[in-house]
Structure 1
Amino acid sequence: YLRQRQFIVIKQKERTYAPGSFAHQGREMPFRQLIRFKTRVTPNLDAPVYIPDSGGSHWIEVEKKPFIFHLHARDIEDQIIDFHGGGIFVPHSVLGSGQADRFRKIRDAYAMHEAAASENDLGPTARRISVPNQRVAFAPRDPGKDGNTLLDTEGIYLLARETGNAPAFPFTPYLEVAEVRIPAADAVAGGQGLQSIQLFQKYLNSSQGLSAPDNPGGVFAELLNSKPVKFAAEQAGGLATPNLNMSGLSQHLGPIAGTLDDIASGSFDPVDFFNGMEAKLLGGIDLFEIIQAAAGAGFDAQIPKLNVKPIPAPPAIPERIEASLKWQPAVQPFGPFEPTNNTDLTIDVLLTQYVSDSPPPPSSRIEGVLTNFDINFADIITITFDELRFVKEDNKKLDVHVDIPDDGIKFGGPLKFLNELEKYLDPASFADPPVLDISPSGVTVGYTLMLPPLAVGVLTLKDVGLGAALSLPFGGGPEDKMRVRFNLSERQAPFNLAVMIFAGGGFFAISLGADGLEVLEIALEFGGSASLDIGVASGGISVMAGFYFKLERNPDRIELTAYIRLNGYLSVLGIINISVEFYLELSYKEFPGGKSKLTGRATVTVKVEVLFFSASVKMTVERKFSGNADDPTFSEMLEPGDWFEYGEAFA
């Protein structure tokens, strides 16, 4: 019988692609020089399964698996790169036929073949070219800038493009996707795994590559899926460590985020760069809103840069890997934040990973410093900061240092008079002298000023206190909000006002947050009294009325209470005493969701004393004029079993 076997012998062992054979002068192909087959002869091949309408082309397979060739080539920086991959056998007659439709059939069959690889299986496939953990240069570096384009590469995927320069060999390969590791991101975030990148189109289109004037950002690659690089360390108080939403790679900037066209063009927008990530400063100031967008020659300094280095440096064996980020962006006014000409913002991050046989856990240190700035709350209170510093280290509490000068608290607007009163009033007049309370959670500053009693004719005013306080929390959470509070006396210590037989009192307080009103409280009480004594009998009457109002936000809540109280008494020779009190109250409460309740209550109390005998009667009536569905019904409050048990107790 006749036995037939097929195998492939590589005759042209090397090939170099001239830059002119590529659409982008070779920038699209890292391996284009001295591509050399290390595999010279294949084993016996499986019977070919031809690609339809391809002129006899087929995948090269052995034992129903793609046969993997061993090759090496020189990359853009003339490094020898070793790699493995499969392929399609194309008969020479097809190559020289000039039949473009056949080439497209072959190209499409190659492109549609399964190309995926997993983190656990990084071996070569028919489509995936394995480049096991080798540093590949993906673009010629710009000699005028620091950095490089070397990436730890695990695999690449190639495609072919038609070319008319060589009819006998009518295609050139180009890089579709590369699977790489990004050391800076891995060191900071504790390992991000493989990243899929493709070459940046603006780099490909420019004949000057990374030296092109329209690409000062040096962007050469973009990630197929934007990847957040989240720092493993905690936030340094309100000056949060920036988490990069990585979208591309630059020669001198490293991992970058935001819109790559903008970065490549030399412009930087921090809001776009961090892609909606939040960091709050001093209880409500958006960190990214105070950072200036930058363009032109100075934009490089605005972009956070990751630097990774082994300690000690090669050729010594490293004991640890240090990843550092230093960010010094320019700032701008926003909301209550008012920078000066000397304002500086610096964020330093140092993350250390140990590489010994029994390494200790990774460590981190994050420091944020903001100097020479003012916080101006609605031109009412202004606080000057010489320095605000946060330091956070592993297993240590947040260390906060605040430096406010002696004259760093100024009142303005309707409270400007407090600055003048301080000059003339005895310090004893201040119930609390100018308050400055600094704690790890925040800064509180304020005044409480007790005014002296005032008597003008029949009018007497006393116990009047003026207070103002500003709270600046260091945290950036939703509960950490900047707030200011003003008050005229207090609920527990109201002012007193008397005009002849009429007297009353009250208080007023308002709390404002960075986003508006938080709490408003008002209370006022007024009334009068009169008495009569004719010897054998004496008596008196008093009438008091008042109201209390409270408006609260987040959650929305309104409370309004009004009341009237009437008292009367009569005494005859001290033997018979009669007193009557009538109290009427109307209360309105509004709850979140628009639900409300209106309640009325009336109470009458009568007390009679005759010699050694006394009796008192009190009657109360309460009516709910308006309610809401949140009030539980009787059946909701008692289960049937509980009701039967209750009833049996009286049976």
Structure 2
Amino acid sequence: MGIAPSFPAVSQLSGREVGTVQAIAYAPSHKPDDTTLSTGQLVWGAANTPASAPADEPLFLPTVRWARAVVPALSRFGTGSGGDQPQSVFHPEPYVRDAFTDANKGQLFIELVESFDLTFSGGGQSAGALAQPNFSVAGLSRLTGPVAAVPATSLGPAADPADKWVNLLQGRFNPLDYFGKIKDAKLFGMFPLSAILKEAGLDRLKAPNFLTATVNAVTGFLNDLRGLRDSLAAVQEQFPQTADRVIRVVDTATRFVEVLLAYITSNLEHLPDPTRIEDVDTAFRAFADALRELRVALPAGVEAGVRQLLTRIAEATATYENGAGEVIALRDAIKAAALGAKLPDVVNSRIQWQPDIKAWRPDKKETPQHENDAVFWPVGKLTLVADLRGSLRPDVPQAADITCTLDDFKLRMVPDFGAIALHFERIRFTMRAGKKPDVEVKLRDLAFIGHLEFVQTLRNLIPLDGFSDPPALTVDSSGIHANYSMQLPNAAVGVFSLENLSLNAMLSVPFIGNTPLQAGFSFCRREAPFRLTVSMLGGGGYFGIVLNPKEIAVLDAAVEFGAAVSMNFGVASGSLSVMAGIYFRLELVSVTNDPGRLDQKEIRPNVKLVGYLRARGEVDVLGIVSASIELYLELGYEGGYAVGRARLTISIEIGFFSKSVTIRCEKKFAGSGERTDVAGAAPAPELTPPSFADLMAPYTDPATGARVDPVLDYCTAFAEVD
């Protein structure tokens, strides 16, 4: 039963037809059932015949004013949140006026009286934190299924109600129309999705496409076999050693499908020499044996999606002769299909979305046109697939599989500084029914650039596949946290010794929230620096950096050098060491400017640069009496101040008695320019340390009234005395 486009209802005449649920096509279809809704109620009206109509035409025409119907996509993906309940629908004005002409490029044909929020976090399935394509369904398109309208907040108060469909009617897809919360969402905690998603057309999956298919035991098994060829082709390309087994599975599966279809067709058409069920059995056993051998020899690196498909097919083959629960055996289902019997069926649904994405840079509104100008440079695609599979077994619930993949993209960190360039082969998040979330991060290349180009030699020692299967991997609701550490062998030649070398790498990829993606690399660590000694001279140090796509988060480095000598005279021994070093640390700190608004924080850099000298001497007599003295001098820069510190420690031990005395001194000097306080600190108090110029400037002694010149006093203190 079809319903023609309705005219505007101008008559007060109305009626209601209430009957059993019927499948009604609300518009001409392009694919089977793409405009069909299960309808339980129709509300009729009447419209005056146009004045240009012939005289013998009726004075009015019946119209469908609105209806109550179940939307297939909502009933599958919205189960548990009201999606399986009838919705009030009607023909929108653009369809009534233009049908499926070029004026309605989006092929809109149904509008919902009240928009329905389609969510993936309720009901019997969960899509995970990374991929939840929730949006408000306002209508139905013959091209893509459920569609959203332009939000009312984006339309002016004088806008026509039909203006909410302006993008769809012009064949354009704006992600902000669909996903209202996308403007607040960030990819990797850094890239606003609204900034990297392009407005696009409705073709080639650039807008979310809803697909549904009704399958039974036989057609479902055949669909899985058809998808097997493409999946195994990727396995054969990635793992050439599986070629023979893959080819055998594909060939036997193809042969089994041919024999099965020939058996069903020849029996339905009552051909004189039909294919026998024994021929189907022979082809099936050959396929089952090949599948079993392939699954046993399958490499560990095969993608989880391929393994899931092979497992599902293997479970179906296990029921070939013996059914499971209330489900008949696959062989019996094939025989029943050949007799024309109707088999129990279910509806499988899928959402596919592959939007166009563009380059991004945080400090520019225009899209970067060159790779070196962008922080995020996409080469591949962002793909989202959500599958909802029905179940023919009452003891097995329906299952949802969610896969979100970002293929082939580059990150260049940091803008206008140039530190690290990362090239990712892919980042994939997968959530499958009954299994924990799985995350795959595949790094293709990394390069130290710009100011860190001197570290490029170390890059050659860092394995690029360390993040795809790292020794330390944590996946939780916040994201992926991977760490890789490699200890290098010591080198010793004569008086030369190089020890405690290590390379370390880390990657943190957030799913949600505002914490940005971070990548870190280090040569040795602060708690375990490398040691280099040549005779009595020696030193050590480390270098580490943590970056996000926008800026340097942490830069930590230190180097120490000096000499040490020890002596032993039998009854007495002693040692003397002198070490000097430089320590530098830059990090971002979270600052609350207003103590009363702790929720409003600002990120500021905090810099610390310190140079130090440490001298230590000790002596021991017969293990009874020992003494040591250590002098530590430090001069550094901390938050706008030049800070000097000195520490003298003297320790004496006699028998069981020991005593240690430490004398400390600290001096701060403010800079000559406008002072910026320690990053993250509150505004400076009124009394601040004087600058060096203030300390050395001439002044009047308050006690004697004499003029005092500190520079002259300092110089004359070292003048020659006659």
TM-score (norm 2): 0.50
Q: Which residue of 2 aligns with 1:253?
A: 144
Contact 2:540 2:561 in 1 (8 A): yes
Contact 2:526 2:542 in 1 (8 A): yes
Q: Which residue of 1 aligns with 2:507?
A: 471
- Per-residue deviation, 1:511: 0.2
Q: Which residue of 2 aligns with 1:438?
A: 468
Contact 1:507 1:524 in 2 (8 A): yes
- Per-residue deviation, 1:283: 7.0
Contact 1:337 1:375 in 2 (8 A): yes
- 1:267 aligned to 2:172? yes
Cα–Cα, structure 1 residues 502 and 604, in superposed 2: closer, same or farther, change >3 Å? same
CA distance in 1, matches of 2:137, 2:345: 28
- Per-residue deviation, 1:316: 4.0
Contact 1:461 1:495 in 2 (8 A): no
Deviations along 1:577-634, one digit per CA (max 9) or x if unpaired, are 65333557899999xxxxx9x998956333165xx686424357799999999xxxxx
Which of 618, 622, 645 in structure 1 is aligned with 2:661? 618
Cα–Cα, structure 1 residues 523 and 195, in superposed 2: closer, same or farther, change >3 Å? farther
**Aligned with 1:307: secondary structure?**
strand
Contact 1:388 1:402 in 2 (8 A): yes
Deviations along 1:94-153, one digit per CA (max 9) or x if unpaired, are xxxxxxxxxxxxxxxxxxxxxxxxxxxxxxxxxxxxx87566666x54779983264635
**Aligned with 1:302: secondary structure?**
coil
Write the mapping of 1:364-443 to structure 2, written as runs, cut at 5 A: 364-368=400-404, 373-378=408-413, 380-383=420-423, 385=425, 390-399=429-438, 408-414=444-450, 436-439=466-469, 441=475
- Per-residue deviation, 1:255: 0.9
Which of 303, 328, 334 in structure 1 is aligned with 2:207? 303
Cα–Cα, structure 1 residues 361 and 547, in superposed 2: closer, same or farther, change >3 Å? same
Contact 2:66 2:90 in 1 (8 A): yes
After superposition, the CA RMSD in angstroms is 5.8
CA distance in 2, matches of 1:327, 1:202: 25
Q: Which residue of 2 aligns with 1:211?
A: 100
Deviations along 1:520-564, one digit per CA (max 9) or x if unpaired, are 323344667799999999988655565655444364695859666
Corresponding letter in the other structure for 2:542:
F
- Per-residue deviation, 1:491: 1.2
- Per-residue deviation, 1:301: 3.4
Corresponding letter in the other structure for 1:147:
D
* More helix as a share of residues: 2
- Per-residue deviation, 1:396: 1.4
**Aligned with 2:127: secondary structure?**
coil
Q: Which residue of 2 aligns with 1:520?
A: 555
Write the mapping of 1:451-490 to structure 2, written as runs, cut at 5 A: 467=503, 469=505, 471=507, 473=509, 476-478=511-513, 481-490=516-525
- Per-residue deviation, 1:267: 0.7
- Per-residue deviation, 1:185: 1.0
CA distance in 2, matches of 1:237, 1:245: 18
Cα–Cα, structure 1 residues 185 and 572, in superposed 2: closer, same or farther, change >3 Å? closer
Question: Larger deviation: 343-352 or 263-272?
Answer: 343-352
Corresponding letter in the other structure for 2:117:
P
Q: Which residue of 2 aligns with 1:244?
A: 135
CA distance in 1, matches of 2:46, 2:665: 84
Cα–Cα, structure 1 residues 319 and 149, in superposed 2: closer, same or farther, change >3 Å? closer
CA distance in 2, matches of 1:218, 1:200: 11
Q: Which has the larger radius of gyration?
A: 1
Corresponding letter in the other structure for 1:490:
R
- 1:362 aligned to 2:342? no
- 1:228 aligned to 2:133? no
Contact 1:217 1:265 in 2 (8 A): yes
CA distance in 1, matches of 2:68, 2:506: 53
Contact 1:284 1:476 in 2 (8 A): no
Contact 1:503 1:527 in 2 (8 A): yes
- 1:607 aligned to 2:587? no
CA distance in 1, matches of 2:663, 2:44: 86
Write the mapping of 1:66-145 to structure 2, written as runs, cut at 5 A: 71=15, 82-83=17-18, 140-141=27-28
Which of 94, 101, 116 in structure 2 is aligned with 1:202? 94
- 1:327 aligned to 2:349? no
Q: Which residue of 2 aligns with 1:110?
A: none
Q: Which residue of 2 aligns with 1:117?
A: none
CA distance in 2, matches of 1:565, 1:577: 20
**Aligned with 1:214: secondary structure?**
helix
Contact 1:411 1:418 in 2 (8 A): no
Q: Which residue of 1 aligns with 2:244?
A: none
CA distance in 2, matches of 1:255, 1:155: 21
Cα–Cα, structure 1 residues 362 and 580, in superposed 2: closer, same or farther, change >3 Å? same
Which of 200, 220, 225 in structure 2 is aligned with 1:294? 200
Cα–Cα, structure 1 residues 315 and 377, in superposed 2: closer, same or farther, change >3 Å? farther
Contact 1:141 1:210 in 2 (8 A): no
Cα–Cα, structure 1 residues 243 and 572, in superposed 2: closer, same or farther, change >3 Å? closer
TM-score (norm 1): 0.55
Deviations along 1:63-111, one digit per CA (max 9) or x if unpaired, are xxxxxxxx55xxxxxxxxx14xxxxxxxxxxxxxxxxxxxxxxxxxxxx
Contact 1:310 1:318 in 2 (8 A): no
Q: Which residue of 2 aligns with 1:58?
A: none
Corresponding letter in the other structure for 2:630:
E
- Per-residue deviation, 1:476: 1.7
Deviations along 1:164-201, one digit per CA (max 9) or x if unpaired, are 99xxxx99998877655422112112132454556434
CA distance in 2, matches of 1:447, 1:538: 40
CA distance in 2, matches of 1:151, 1:462: 77
Q: Which residue of 2 aligns with 1:506?
A: 541
CA distance in 1, matches of 2:75, 2:609: 61
**Aligned with 2:521: secondary structure?**
strand
Report % sequence identity: 25
- 1:183 aligned to 2:72? yes
Corresponding letter in the other structure for 2:389:
T
Question: Larger deviation: 186-195 or 548-557?
Answer: 548-557
Deviations along 1:489-536, one digit per CA (max 9) or x if unpaired, are 421333557899986543332101234332232334466779999999
Q: Which residue of 1 aligns with 2:527?
A: 492
**Aligned with 1:187: secondary structure?**
helix
Corresponding letter in the other structure for 1:268:
F
Deviations along 1:403-445, one digit per CA (max 9) or x if unpaired, are 77xxx4352525667777899xxxxxx5x65552424745969
CA distance in 1, matches of 2:25, 2:633: 86
Q: Which residue of 1 aligns with 2:254?
A: none
Cα–Cα, structure 1 residues 606 and 377, in superposed 2: closer, same or farther, change >3 Å? same
Q: Which residue of 1 aligns with 2:385?
A: 348
**Aligned with 2:39: secondary structure?**
strand
CA distance in 1, matches of 2:10, 2:504: 67
